[in-house]
């Protein structure tokens, strides 16, 4: 299947994607809010889906406004073997990366393989596009993001079997689907004015107006007695916006510049209406 390198199988099933801002290291703390008594799991900013993969809910609705991401997840869900075959047929290396990045395949399986390939070998798991909507994240140094072996890939793909995956605005998705007995996890991009936070989305995708919409949505869920948990940057904006609810300050290791010497502990808030 080509010359793409693979890593050794892992016992724990992990997300297939790398994603900037992922809460993977905070999962042990976030997951305590979940239990199997909830009817469904909803995540409207799914990204790599770290919490979803960790708790493995029997019934889930996953959403994101990123069409490329959603198309990739939907295609993996339906055609995991075919996507893996195409993915591992792609040659690795810097020159190949930029050649593949410049392509625009039309088939769903080819597009999913391209998305996974670029995600695995791009800088820091970022998703960023130019003004023409073209992915433009540079190649990462050798040794990052290798492709999992077939057994691990297929096991990870099976986790998507019981999920409904939609491309939708977070508010539209939650208002359309959430009902009493559900559990909703929010991990939005950060609209923080005090410092620049480099997220997987363009800066105009989630701003102050969206933060205001999110707060109104949380109040709506409160009134409907629907449980939710939110991860957000520790900031003046978050303290002001979410002060009504229970808050817990956490610290996560962030590798903003992509190199070990620039890693730092970032303060984040875990907010919930669950008592």
Q: Does 55 map to a domain?
A: yes
| Segment among 20-29, 151-160, 213-222 with least mean pLDDT | 20-29
User: CA-CA distance, 232 to 268, in Å (whole number)?
Assistant: 6
10 within a domain of the structure (yes/no): no
- Match 């009504």 to its residue by tokens: 244
255: pLDDT strictly greater than 80: no
pLDDT over 70 percentage in the chain: 85
Answer with the residue of higher pLDDT: 242 or 22: 242
- Of 89-93, 174-178, 251-255, least confident by mean pLDDT is 251-255
In a domain, 60, yes or no: yes
Partnered with residue 271 across adjacent β-strands are 230, 247
Instruction: Report CA 112 to chain centroid distance, whole Å.
Output: 16
- The closest of 159, 124, 99 to 22, measured between CA atoms, is 124
Rounded percentage of the chain residues whose pLDDT exceeds 90: 65
- Kindly state whether residue 263 falls inside one of the protein's structural domains: yes
Q: With beta carbons less than 8 A apart as the criterion, state whether 126 and 200 touch.
A: yes
Distance CA 22, CA 127 (A): 12
Residue 203: predicted pLDDT: 44
Structural domain span for residue 165: 24-272
Per-residue confidence band for 180, with pLDDT thresholds at 50, 70 and 90? very high
Burial class (CB within 10 angstroms; exposed 0-12, middle 13-18, buried 19+) of 17: buried
pLDDT of res. 196: 46
Question: Which alpha helices (H) appear in the chain, and where do they start and end?
Answer: 27-30, 50-55, 67-78, 80-88, 94-101, 108-121, 150-158, 170-177, 208-223, 236-241
What CATH number has the domain bearing residue 55? 3.40.50.150
Is residue 2 situated within a structural domain?
no
As a whole number of angstroms, the distance between CA 238 and CA 218 comes to: 13
- Tally the domains of the chain: 1
- In this structure, is residue 247 part of a structural domain? yes
**Per the domain annotation, does 71 fall within a domain?**
yes
Is 14 inside any structural domain? Answer: no
Name the pLDDT band for 83 (thresholds 50, 70, 90): very high
Q: Which residue has the higher pLDDT, 2 or 108?
A: 108
pLDDT, tens digit (0-9, with 9 covering 90-100), for 192-229: 554 444 444 454 467 889 999 999 999 999 999 999 99
Better-scored residue on pLDDT, 206 or 139 = 139
Contact predicate 137/127, CB 8 Å: yes
Q: Does the predicted TM-score (pTM) go above 0.75?
A: yes
């Amino acid at each position: 299947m080509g010359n793409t390198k693979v890593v050794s199988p892992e016992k724990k099933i992990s997300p297939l994607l790398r994603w900037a801002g992922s809460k993977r290291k905070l999962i042990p703390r976030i997951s305590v809010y979940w239990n199997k008594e909830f009817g469904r799991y909803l995540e409207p900013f799914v990204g790599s889906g770290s919490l979803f993969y960790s708790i493995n809910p029997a019934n889930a609705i996953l959403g994101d406004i990123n069409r490329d991401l959603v198309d990739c997840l939907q295609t993996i869900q339906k055609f995991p073997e075919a996507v893996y075959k195409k993915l591992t047929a792609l040659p690795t290396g810097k020159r190949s990366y930029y050649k593949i990045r410049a392509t625009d395949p039309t088939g769903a399986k080819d597009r999913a393989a391209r998305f996974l390939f670029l995600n695995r070998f791009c800088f820091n798991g970022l998703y960023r596009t130019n003004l023409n909507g073209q992915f433009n994240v540079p190649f990462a140094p050798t040794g990052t993001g290798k492709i999992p072996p077939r057994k691990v890939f297929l096991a990870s793909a099976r986790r998507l079997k019981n999920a409904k995956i939609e491309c939708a605005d977070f508010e539209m998705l939650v208002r359309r689907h959430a009902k009493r007995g559900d559990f909703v996890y929010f991990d939005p991009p950060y609209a923080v004015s005090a410092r620049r936070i480099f997220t997987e989305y363009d800066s105009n995708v989630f701003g102050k107006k969206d933060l205001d919409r999110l707060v109104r949505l949380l109040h709506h869920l409160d009134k409907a007695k629907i449980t939710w948990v939110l991860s957000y940057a520790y900031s003046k904006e978050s303290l002001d916006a979410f002060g009504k609810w229970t808050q817990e300050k956490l610290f996560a290791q962030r590798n903003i510049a992509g190199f070990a010497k620039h890693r730092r502990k970032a303060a984040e808030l875990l907010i919930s209406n669950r008592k």
